[in-house]
Structure 1
Amino acid sequence: MTYKEFFGCTFLAFGPPLAMFSFTIAKDPIRIIILIASAFFWLLSLLISSLLWFAVVPLKNTLAFGLVFSVLFQELFRYFMYKLLRKAEGGLKKVTDVETEISSNKHILAYVSGLGFGIMSGAFALVNVLAAAVGPGTMGLKGDSDLFFFTSAATTLVFILLNTFWGVIAFSALDNTNYLQLIWVVGSHMIVSCLTLLNNNVMYAETLVPAYIILAITALLAYYVAGGTFRSFKASLSCGTLCHSRM
């Protein structure tokens, strides 16, 4: 049972990101490099957050303190990643083919960077939990919730996808000096992160439902800033239905 829980939670949290990586990034070495670089920037934000937590001794036991500053440092390093990619964009165009999307679509860099942030944050959030899921024993004994592993995996997935969409929105907002979109990125990041504090009281539904609602809104906003419209979305659905019917 423990191994079934392990693989189920692993595929729930990392299945969609793995598919995104396989279909959109794996075949392009430049995108892989950008993904790794953005993951490294997320690690740097974690390092700075850890140093601050270690230095401020009186607030070490206050989880909310570390969480708030962790979010702020993550968004700060997202900005640093944006500046780095915009400065390196000219060089990237020279080492890639003229016809590649990375030269013609600036949102590709934002998408890859956001996914790198998300995958690394998800790995740090869930790896230890998955290690505990292998056994021995299982959750639910002595009053513990048997939904702990499922909730952890579902929360990890929402953060990976949100980081991807936040990357697209943040890069576009910085390009166009759209402060409302930047406020949404930082504000929704802070809200979803603070919602996870409710898990200490086993309020899993109160955490997941608002988080996935914010995920849906953020996905629509990312689709819009990337140039998507309702007409194009409807057309893609119609094309998908037509192709399926022909099969």
Structure 2
Amino acid sequence: MTLYTFFGCLLTAYGPILSIFFLFIAKNAQHVLLTVASIAIQELFRWLYFLLMQRAEPGLNMVTKYPRSPFNRIIFAFVAGYGYALTTSLVSYVPILVESLGPGILMVPSFPAASTFFDAAVTTSFFSLLHMAWMVIAFDGFAAKKWVGSLKIGWVLASHLGASYSTLLNTSTIPFGCIYAMVIQIVFLLISVAIIVASLAKKR
């Protein structure tokens, strides 16, 4: 493989997450610290992380630019989700990206026209965005009362499971399996974004 493939896959996998970092998170030291802190905690500890943030929220609000903003919790959840996304994307894709510098190429079994390197780059990109969306929805669900919160938490768990299992289509013998996997991930992402937008609209 050539350097063109390496940098193409690199930017495909990490373009969205790097753009978010430099355009939004890097401008605020508080957001950077929250990102780094969240890297140590993974999916099973999402609820515990929410409880921690709930206790820290009054202090964080004191030093934030808009202490009384109803969107502070969502911003905190977003940058924490960024930390999760950064961790998983680095762990899952860097070894594959390094392999792309080698002399050979491995094609996707379900879609021989695409290389495994590019398929993994697209999957990494989608999962990075999904992790941020899941964290925002989960925090909102944990804070909400009654059945609405339970539905949001249920959506996070179900869509996380569904998106993860969809990656099995990449190595299957089903024709266009990796395309189906990407479509599933895009659908989960769009629904998650719609849930977040609806939640933001209610906070206005």
- Shorter-chain TM-score tier: 0.7 to 0.9
| Correspondent of 1:118 among 81, 85, 93 | 85
Partner of 2:25: 25
**Max radius of gyration: which structure?**
1
Partner of 1:147: 115
Distance 1:168 1:226 in 2: 11
- TM-score of the superposition, structure 2-length normalised? 0.87
- Paired amino acid for 1:189: H
Shift of the 187–140 alpha-carbon distance from structure 1 to 2, 3 Å rule, reads closer
2:41 is paired with a residue whose SS is: helix
Once the two structures are TM-superposed, the CA of residue 132 in structure 1 deviates from its matched residue by 0.2
Report how many aligned residue pairs link the two structures. 195
Partner of 1:162: 130
Structure 1 position 191 matched with structure 2 position 158: no
Partner of 1:237: none
Considering fraction of residues, name the structure with more helix: 1
In the TM superposition, what are the counterparts of 1:24-173 in structure 2 within 5 Å? 24-42=24-42, 74=43, 76-94=44-62, 96-97=63-64, 100-101=65-66, 104=69, 105-140=72-107, 145=112, 146-173=114-141
- Paired amino acid for 2:118: F
- Paired amino acid for 2:3: Y
Aligned-residue Cα RMSD (Å) equals 2.4
Q: Is the 8 A contact 2:57 2:73 kept in 1?
A: no
The runs of 5 or more residues in structure 1 that have no matched partner are 43-73, 233-247
Q: Is the 8 A contact 2:105 2:115 kept in 1?
A: no
Once the two structures are TM-superposed, the CA of residue 218 in structure 1 deviates from its matched residue by 1.0
The runs of 5 or more residues in structure 2 that have no matched partner are none
- Paired amino acid for 1:221: I
Distance 1:83 1:108 in 2: 16
- After superposition, the C-alpha distances for 1:173-207 in whole angstroms (9 at most, x for unaligned) are 11113111111111000001011122221521121
Identity rate of aligned residues, in percent? 32
Once the two structures are TM-superposed, the CA of residue 140 in structure 1 deviates from its matched residue by 4.2
- TM-score of the superposition, structure 1-length normalised? 0.73
